[in-house]
């Protein structure tokens, strides 16, 4: 199996975490998304990472990749009960919309847009906080939903070393969840060498309101 990856992509991290949790042997190829290689454009209909190449097929969209891996290897990381499984999938979608909100946060051009992005992000974190059972999303067992949210928090593990945006103040369930996620080897090693420095360079080069605060 080959996972075509990008160094900073949170959707790639999701797939890496699930592959690691399930002990699936695979190789990773990192590409530059601002200069997409022709072979990648030919293989990826949406031109987005990650893609998974396996048995002559190409899968795209991280959630599809993860669900496939979960299905073909033993010990599912989804709840067995259909309603609970569907509920997890709903909140995985919510993680994706939170990643979009993070993009708006770090790209906001001025204080007004930044304030709006902060309010939106905080509302999202308040919503997910109410759903967390602890210490992980649904108790002690690690699920795919934990892999989907870990990359959301990973941004802030780096950002908060430079500036505290106080986005998680009072959200005790998230605070506990983040601590448990980051202590997990699949999450800790779910990013490549040099991730933190690359992310800082990326954020500071946005020319945005947040870049200014991080400098
Ligand atoms: N819904 C997609 C999102 C993937 C995605 O947005 N990937 C970004 C990098 S994090 C990408 O490849 N962007 C390049 C582009 O859109 O041109 C998934 O879950 O796989």
Question: How far, in Å, is the centroid of ligand 1 from the Cα of 49?
Answer: 5
What is the pTM assigned to this prediction? 0.98
Domains in the chain, number: 2
48 Cα nearest atom in ligand 1:
12
In 108-194, which residue ranges form alpha helices assigned H by DSSP?
111-129, 144-159, 172-182, 185-188
pLDDT digits (tens, 9 = 90+) for 36-85: 999 999 999 999 999 999 999 999 999 999 999 999 999 999 999 999 99
* Structural domain boundaries, residue 146: 82-214
Query: Which pLDDT does position 195 carry in this prediction?
Result: 98
Provide the pLDDT for residue 54: 98
Q: What token pair was written down for 153? A: 């928090």
Q: Which of 32, 52, 72 is the last residue of a domain?
A: 72
**CA nearest to 189, candidates 23, 69, 67, 13:** 13
Helix axes 195-204, 144-159, angle to 10 degrees: 60
| In a domain? residue 10 | yes
Query: What angle separates helix 10-21 from helix 62-72, to the nearest 10 degrees?
Result: 0
- Out of 20, 41, 72, a domain closes at 72
143 shares a domain with 123: yes
Statement to judge: residues 135 and 180 lie in one domain:
yes
Q: Please report the pLDDT score of residue 168 as a whole number.
A: 98
Q: Which residues of 55-85 are buried (b: 16+ CB within 10 A; e: fewer)?
A: eeeebbebbebbbbbbeeeeeebbbeeeeeb
Residue 97: predicted pLDDT: 98
Full pLDDT tens readout for the chain, 215 residues: 999 999 999 999 999 999 999 999 999 999 999 999 999 999 999 999 999 999 999 999 999 999 999 999 999 999 999 999 999 999 999 999 999 999 999 999 999 999 999 999 999 999 999 999 999 999 999 999 999 999 999 999 999 999 999 999 999 999 999 999 999 999 999 999 999 999 999 999 999 999 999 98
Q: What is the pLDDT of residue 185?
A: 98
| Residue 105 and residue 29 share a domain | no
Ligand 1 centroid vs 165 CA: distance in angstroms? 26
* Residue 115 pLDDT: 98
Query: What's residue 40's pLDDT?
Result: 98
* CATH number of the domain where residue 12 is located: 3.40.30.10
* Contacting residues for 71 by C-beta, under 8 A, at least 6 apart: none
The residue to mutate among 32, 49, 199, having the most atoms of ligand 1 within 8 angstroms of its beta carbon, is 49
Q: Which of 29, 54, 72 is the last residue of a domain?
A: 72
Q: How far is the CA of 84 from the centre of ligand 1 (A)?
A: 27
The secondary structure of 159-181 as a DSSP string is HTTT----TTTT-HHHHHHHHHH
Comparing CA positions, the residue from 179, 155, 174 lying closest to residue 165 is: 155
Max intra-chain CA distance, the chain? 49
């Amino acid at each position: 199996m080959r996972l075509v990856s990008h160094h900073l992509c949170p959707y790639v991290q999701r797939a890496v975490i699930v592959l690691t949790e399930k002990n699936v042997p695979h190789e990773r190829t990192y590409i530059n998304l601002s200069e997409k290689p022709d072979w990648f454009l030919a293989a990826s209909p949406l031109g987005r990472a990650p893609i998974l190449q396996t048995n002559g097929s190409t899968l795209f969209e991280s959630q599809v990749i993860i669900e496939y891996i979960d299905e073909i290897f033993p010990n599912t990381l989804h709840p067995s009960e259909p309603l609970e499984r569907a509920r997890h999938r709903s909140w995985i979608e919510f993680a994706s919309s939170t990643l979009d909100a993070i993009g708006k946060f770090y790209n906001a051009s001025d204080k007004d847009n930044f304030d709006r992005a902060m309010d939106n992000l905080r509302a999202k974190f308040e919503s997910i906080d109410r759903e967390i059972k602890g210490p992980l999303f649904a108790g002690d067992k690690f699920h795919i939903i934990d892999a989907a949210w870990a990359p959301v928090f990973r941004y802030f593990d780096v950002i908060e070393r430079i500036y505290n945006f106080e986005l998680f103040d009072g959200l005790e369930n998230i605070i506990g969840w983040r601590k448990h996620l980051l202590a997990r080897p699949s999450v800790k090693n779910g990013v490549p060498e040099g991730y933190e420095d690359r992310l800082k360079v990326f954020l500071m080069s946005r020319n945005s309101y947040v870049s200014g605060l991080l400098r």
